[in-house]
Amino acid sequence: MRPPGIEPGSHFQYNLNMKIAVAKGDGIGPEIMEAVLNIFKAGKVPLQYEMVEMGKWVFDKGFSNGMTPEAKATIERLGILFKGPMETPKGKGVKSVNVTARKTWNTYANNREFQTLHGVDTVFSKAGIPIDITVVRENIEDTYGGIEHMLTHDVALSRRFITRPGSLQVIKYAFEMAKKKNARRITCGHKANIMKITDGLFLECFYEVAKDYPELKADDVIVDDLCMKLVTRPDLFDVVVLTNLQGDIVSDLCAGLVGGLGFAPSANIGDHICIFEAVHGTAPDIAGKNIANPTALLLSGLAMLRHVGLTENASVIENALLYTLEQGVHTGDFGDKSIPSVNTTQFADAIIGNFGKKPAVGAKEIIPNKPGTPEPLKLELNPMMVSVETGDETIVGVDLFIESDEQPVAIAEKCKRHAGVKFNLTNISNRGTQVWPTGSIYTNLVNQYNVRFESINDEPLNQQDVIGLYVSMSGNFKICSFELLNAWGDKKAYSMAQGQ
Amino acid sequence: MRPPGIEPGSHFQYNLNMKIAVAKGDGIGPEIMEAVLNIFKAGKVPLQYEMVEMGKWVFDKGFSNGMTPEAKATIERLGILFKGPMETPKGKGVKSVNVTARKTWNTYANNREFQTLHGVDTVFSKAGIPIDITVVRENIEDTYGGIEHMLTHDVALSRRFITRPGSLQVIKYAFEMAKKKNARRITCGHKANIMKITDGLFLECFYEVAKDYPELKADDVIVDDLCMKLVTRPDLFDVVVLTNLQGDIVSDLCAGLVGGLGFAPSANIGDHICIFEAVHGTAPDIAGKNIANPTALLLSGLAMLRHVGLTENASVIENALLYTLEQGVHTGDFGDKSIPSVNTTQFADAIIGNFGKKPAVGAKEIIPNKPGTPEPLKLELNPMMVSVETGDETIVGVDLFIESDEQPVAIAEKCKRHAGVKFNLTNISNRGTQVWPTGSIYTNLVNQYNVRFESINDEPLNQQDVIGLYVSMSGNFKICSFELLNAWGDKKAYSMAQGQ
């Protein structure tokens, strides 16, 4: 599945004095980026920067994906993008430049580290509960595919997909990262008790990968329970891996635990391109005033330095940051109000002045920089990720999603006439609840039914059989959608309706 | 949409001395239910109870939905179910009895109230942050429909649907409840920035209903931001309404804020049947020991009393509960460890002994019981909820979801041959990202593509046109699924692919 020679986490050891792409971002982006690059310069970080054009003003110039073709080419050539916060214009039907970048370049893992920062007060720090959680969020799939349709005037559908190769990719990354971090525990958050097939697949992949890491304690927890535990005993968790939407929610929850998005770095990891960014807003109300807090962008930058092997630079700067926070130095958005706040430049200068110092709590080990290795892999074709099938694939039926405001019994009578000699009408459901052959009078209906036809005696069907049924049924109903009912071997690959 | 004469929140004012159905539940269920019913008896609550058979031992007896037919008939006759926690056997392919009950009887609104309880220490109570949040969760739709299919061996799909009538139903309930509560604010949590059509529909319904309640401050917040704010400034929120999965996550998060599921009541509200339940586990390890904490079930019972008009009984008991907690009385799972814990019976007796007393903080107003009104409405047909269409409905294309491990260009070449005179091949995407006519070499692929055909010059199509294309395409590809592309008037009712 992965191109040969590419191992997760190891494919970004570049030559020293390498170049990376930098996009300053909108609003407060330019000033916090300047602060961070000044800290890097003072810290003698051996990187060169190539500025690229992305963000609101690029949308405004007419580039509908929020980046210039030159920016795209530069990022693909250099393989690393360091970016400030960006704004996507609202109401123009354009998609978020942040999401487009993550999906187009297949940065399949979103890595976010949340740690207690002394000097940043939260209810948890006051209660003496230490936080050190890494959330790994799948970054491509789930409803973030954005595939949505109105089936009827009343019924909207979002196709939530989870794939085996996509799940394995992010989970392998999470285990590798957990191993490097010497994690106490790696936990899969999921909702497989309800989404038995999609989240069931993700959970199955999690335990499949876990077998290769017997040294790590791997377990799982249902996502709602996870969120309850995160606000009562966050110290119980270390690395948590989740699907996209659940990971989005859990990672912002964790950002809240350590003080908010102003203290939460974000890394988007792919096999060819990685994006390190501040995920907070562009704060247009304070833009240009030199008062914004650059901590989240700096922490994202430190994750980038470690990713490209500049571990010594990263630890020296991080120790200076932690020491500075411990001393009570703060911008206006956080910290002890009895100590006057500093501006963005002063905050950066304070960190620079503290190079070589170590915080009392949580000092980072100084690990020598690693020499650079190969250039990023160039591709000739889009990588196709296919896993080996187990069991013969057969079609055993079809679900037809029809528009109708009739009662279930009337629909069943009509459908039975179309079943022919190959199909049985086995079930009719409305919003996932069975309404025929049995059901409850108390089930409220919307004008879209799922009519399930299965093959008689589980005989394998072909597409011609399905087409025949479809043609016949379309004489009576508008068919908004269908899903084939597949089986692999004798394992049926579809859910039963509630009550079926 | 709603049967005439039925208004949300008003349809459960029964005759005094009415009967309700009670299911004790599994594990600790029977002992905490006994404690609560003893408190009700001592509080002279004018209710009679009819015990019904539901739960694990009913599954074990062979009833695949976890309830006996007699239980179902009794609950439908009485209209109110009060239930302890229940266990659904794992690995037997049966669905949760809790979820089956909520869906079958269309209890469309899950109402959960979370309040700071003095005597129940949390990091937030220690920080002096008061919590009084009501979460209203849509209880039927979303991925909880459980409609899932494997499209290929690698690609799992869950159909996430949001409907207009279903959204209006729960949102109207939330506004009515907020009005009765004199809420400071009602907030819609959503992810409409990503799920523009499904969550966009929910958000549109929210502001449509808000127009009828100008006295309430209505606003919305993106769900990940909501979760961050709930762990930093939970005191900013009052009533929050969300779709099903997001509501599930947010309500358990809020339970954590006030001490966990042991202090979190739950009411499932429908037009004909309502279910009041403790949503914590069955705790089989401590079952039968008379040491479980009955607070969540008691709070759920108090919500039930208020729902049926027994407001005075509810306030007297709640004041006694709050007073008892303030005094430091606690079961073994919470409270000040320097004060010895009491058992379940002693905890209930302490509350009974405190009838007539009021807590120092948060005492409930005594509102006289209201006399009962009509019997629950009996139905002849399943209620069909259809809203008025705006704009003519036309078919303007189709998305075909095909299985293939070929490269995008090769697929496009084949598809173009099938387009015929009515369709244009406009777009091919993989996991929601456009890969043809333009795309990035860095987009990783799975073996299932979405091929979009749209009508030439937006000419309206009919089902025969779609069938013709399907028949032709099926000669080259296995078509796993399709979705019609609909338009109402000139408004296209489907999303663009990322990058399209």
Residue range B212-263, pLDDT digits in tens: 999 999 999 999 999 999 999 999 999 999 999 999 999 999 999 999 999 9
Q: Which of A95, A160, A232 sits opposite B160 (nearest CB)?
A: A160
User: What is the model's pLDDT at position B430?
Assistant: 95
Residues B180, B163 contacting (CB under 8 angstroms): no
Mean pLDDT score, B157-169: 97
Residue A434 has pLDDT above 60, yes or no: yes
Residues B62 and B68: their CA atoms lie apart, in Å, by: 9
Would you state the pLDDT for residue B7?
A: 43
Structure confidence at residue B389 as a pLDDT band (50, 70, 90): confident
Confidence class for position A379, pLDDT limits 50, 70, 90: confident
Q: Read off φ and ψ for residue A431, nearest 5 degrees.
A: 50, 40
Q: Is the pLDDT of residue B14 over 80?
A: no
Q: What is the DSSP letter of B462?
A: -
**Pairing mode of beta strands A186-190, A155-163:** unpaired
**8 Å CB contact between A201 and A164:** yes
Instruction: For residues A351 and A348, give the distance between their C-alpha atoms in angstroms, rounded to a whole number.
Output: 5
DSSP annotation of B368 reads P
Tokens linked to A497? 């309706």
- B293's tokens: 């904490």
Residue B376 near residue B272 (C-beta atoms within 8 A): yes
Which two structure tokens, joined as six digits, stand for B180? 């009765």
Residue B160's closest chain A neighbor by CA? A158
B181, HSE (Cβ side, Cα atoms, 13 Å): 23
Q: Of A232, A257, A382, which is closest to B408 when you measure between CB atoms? A: A382
Tell me which chain B residues have a C-beta less than 8 angstroms from the C-beta of A224. Answer: 248-249, 251-253
Say whether B253 and A471 touch across the interface (CB within 8 A). Answer: no
B311 has a pLDDT exceeding 80: yes
- Chain B interface disruption, residue of A112, A172, A194, A463, most B CBs within 10 A: A194
d(CA A412, CA A145): 34
**In contact, B82 and B301? CB cutoff 8 Å:** yes
User: Given this model, what pLDDT does residue A3 score?
Assistant: 34
Whole-Å CA distances, B215 to B126, B175, B211, B221: 34, 11, 9, 20
- The pLDDT assigned to B10 comes to 41
Whether B423 has a pLDDT exceeding 90, the answer reads: yes
Output the CA–CA distances (angstroms, integers) from residue A497 to A399, A418, B100, B148, in the order listed.
11, 21, 10, 9
C-alpha span between B34 and B288 (Å, rounded): 12
| Contact predicate B423/B485, CB 8 Å | no
- Report the pLDDT value the prediction gives residue B104, as an integer from 0 to 100: 84
pLDDT band at residue A1 using 50, 70 and 90 as cut-offs: very low
Nearest to A256 among B229, B432, B445 (CB): B229
**Beta bridge pairs of residue A137:** A110, A242
d(CA B388, CA B374): 31
Nearest to B442 among A95, A379, A441 (CB): A379
Q: Give CA–CA dist B274/B101, Å, rounded.
A: 10
Burial A153-171 (b: 16+ CB within 10 A, else e): bbbbbbbbbbbbbbbbbbb
Q: Which of B50, B154, B115 is nearest to B448 (CA)?
A: B154
Would you say B382 and A407 are in contact if contact means Cβ atoms under 8 Å apart?
A: yes
Residues of B in contact with A497 (CB under 8 A): 146-147
**Percent of chain A at pLDDT exceeding 70:** 94
CB–CB of A157 and B198 under 8 A?
A: yes
Residue B377: per-residue pLDDT: 61
Angle at A443 between CA A440 and CA A448, to 5 degrees: 120
What per-residue confidence (pLDDT) applies to A391? Answer: 80
Burial of residue B70 (CB within 10 Å: 0-12, 13-18, 19+) is: exposed
B158/A160 touch (CB, cutoff 8 Å), yes or no: yes
Q: What is the pLDDT of residue A16?
A: 52
- Please check whether residue A135 is in contact with residue A114, taking contact to mean a CB–CB distance below 8 angstroms: yes
Task: Tell me what the mean pLDDT of segment A162-180 comes to.
Answer: 96
Run of H or E including B230: helix B223-230
| Helix, strand or coil, per DSSP, at residue B249 | helix
* DSSP one-letter code for B498: B
Tell me how close the Cα of A274 comes to any Cα of chain B, in angstroms: 11
Q: Write down the pTM of the prediction.
A: 0.94
B104/A151 Cβ within 8 A: no
Q: What CA–CA distances, in Å, run from B207 to A266, B246, B391? A: 33, 19, 21
pLDDT in tens, A299-341: 999 999 999 889 999 999 999 999 999 999 999 999 988 999 9
Q: Distance, in angstroms, between A367 CA and closest chain B CA?
A: 32
Residue of B nearest to A473 (CA): B463
* Region B121-146 average pLDDT: 94
Mean pLDDT over A146-172 rounds to 95
A357: nearest Cα among A311, A309, A310, A325: A325
- Residue in chain B lying closest to A465 (CA): B471
**The pLDDT of residue A371 is above 70:** no
In this structure, what DSSP letter does residue B366 have?
Answer: -
pLDDT at residue B373 above 50? no
- Min Cα separation A363/chain B (Å): 26
A94 falls in which pLDDT band (50, 70, 90)? confident
CA distance B433 to chain A (A): 7
Kind of pairing between the strands at A132-138 and A80-83 = unpaired
Please report the pLDDT score of residue A299 as a whole number: 98
- Residue A186 has a pLDDT of 98
Token reading at A454: 């299965």
Residue range A96-123: average pLDDT? 91
How far apart are the CA of A409 and the nearest CA of chain B, in angstroms?
10
Cis peptide before A437 (omega within 30 of 0): yes
Q: Kindly determine whether residue B150 and residue A486, on different chains, have CB atoms separated by under 8 Å.
A: yes
A483, closest residue in chain B (CA to CA): B481
Whole-complex ipTM: 0.93
> In terms of pLDDT, which residue wins out, B376 or B278?
B278
- Please give, rounded to a whole number of angstroms, the shortest distance from the CA of A134 to a CA of chain B: 16
**B85: closest CA among B77, B95, B96, B69?**
B96
Bridge partners of residue B138, in order along the sequence = B109
Please answer yes or no on whether B486 and A480 come within 8 Å at the CB atom: yes
Find the mean pLDDT for residues A283-298: 96
Confidence of residue B379 (pLDDT cuts 50, 70, 90): confident
Q: What is the DSSP letter of B111?
A: E
Residue in B closest to A445 by C-alpha:
B384
Angle subtended at Cα A192 by Cα A190 and Cα A195, rounded to the nearest 5 degrees: 115
Please judge whether B488 and A153 are an interchain contact, meaning their C-beta atoms are less than 8 angstroms apart. yes
Nearest to B191 by CA among A247, A263, A201: A247
Tell me the β-bridge partners of A424: A454
Measured between CA atoms, how close is A36 to chain B, in angstroms? Answer: 25
Confidence of residue B498 (pLDDT cuts 50, 70, 90): low
Q: Is there a contact between B91 and B121 (Cβ–Cβ < 8 Å)? A: no
How many beta-carbon pairs below 8 A join chains A and B? 452
Cβ neighbours of residue B424 closer than 8 Å, sequence gap 6 or more: B453, B454, B455, B456
How far apart, in whole angstroms, are the C-alpha atoms of residue A482 and residue B400?
10
Interface test with B, best of A249, A279, A401, A495 (most B CBs within 10 A): A249
Residue linked to tokens 């579809």: A494
Q: Smallest CA–CA separation between B60 and chain A, in Å?
A: 17
The H or E element that residue B486 is part of is strand B478-488
> Best mutation site among A483, A491, A492 for testing chain B: the one with the most B CBs within 10 Å?
A483
Whether A441 and B223 lie within 8 Å, measured CB to CB? no
Distance from CA of A443 to the nearest CA of B (A): 5
pLDDT of A10 higher than 50: no
Token digits for B353?
Answer: 């002994």
Q: Report the helix count and the strand count for chain B, using DSSP H and E.
A: 14, 18
Q: Which residues of chain B make contact with A245, given a CB cutoff of 8 A?
A: 191, 194, 245
Q: Which two tokens stand for residue B273?
A: 């049947």
Residues of A within 8 A of B272 (CB-CB) are 442
**pLDDT tens-digit readout, B51-85:** 999 999 899 998 888 999 999 999 998 999 999 99
Residues A215-240: tens digit of each pLDDT: 999 999 999 999 999 999 999 999 99
Task: Find the mean pLDDT for residues B130-143.
Answer: 96
Q: Supply the mean pLDDT for chain B.
A: 91
Q: Annotate chain A with three-state secondary structure.
A: CCCCCCCCCCCCCCCCCEEEEEECCCCCHHHHHHHHHHHHHHCCCCEEEEECCECHHHHHCCCCCCECHHHHHHHHHHCEEEECCCCCCCCCCCCCHHHHHHHHCCCCEEEEEEECCCCCCCHHHHCCCCCEEEEEEECCCEHHHCCEEECCCCEEEEEEEEEHHHHHHHHHHHHHHHHHCCCCCEEEEECCCCCCCHHHHHHHHHHHHHCCCCCCCEEEEEHHHHHHHHCCCHHHCCEEEECHHHHHHHHHHHHHHCCCHHHCEEEEECCCCEEEEECCCCCHHHCCCCCCCCHHHHHHHHHHHHHCCCHHHHHHHHHHHHHHHHCCCCCCCCCCCCCCCCCHHHHHHHHHHCCCCCCCCCCCCCCCCCCCCCCCCCCCCCCECCCCCCCCEEEEEEEEEEECCCCHHHHHHHHHHHCCCCEEEEEEEECCEEEECCCCCCCCECCEEEEEEEEHHHCCECHHHHHHHHHHHCCCCEEEEEEEEEEECCEECECCCECC
Percent of chain B with pLDDT over 90: 80
Q: Count of CB atoms within 10 A of residue A374's CB?
A: 11
Give bridge partners of residue B393 from the DSSP assignment. B488
Confidence of residue B6 (pLDDT cuts 50, 70, 90): very low
Mean pLDDT across B39-53:
95
Q: From the list A387, A429, A447, which residue is nearest B386 (CB)?
A: A447
For residue B85, whether the previous peptide bond is cis, meaning omega lies within 30 degrees of 0, is no
Partners of B160 on chain A (C-beta within 8 Å) are 143, 157-160
Using one digit for the tens of pLDDT, what is the confidence trace for B170-190? 999 999 999 999 999 999 999
Per-residue confidence (pLDDT) for residue B17, from 0 to 100? 62
| Highest mean pLDDT pick, A32-46, A78-92, A385-399, B100-114 | A32-46
Residue A143, φ and ψ in degrees, nearest 5: -70, -5
The pLDDT tens digits of the residues spanning B22-33 come to: 999 999 999 999
pLDDT at A12 > cutoff 50: no
Place B98 in a pLDDT band, splitting at 50, 70 and 90.
confident
Q: What is the 3-state secondary structure (H, E, C) of B412-440?
A: HHHHHHHCCCCEEEEEEEECCEEEECCCC
CB-closest option in A147, A163, A231 to B256: A231
Average pLDDT over residues A278-284: 92
pLDDT at A373 over 80: no
B426 vs A383, higher pLDDT? B426
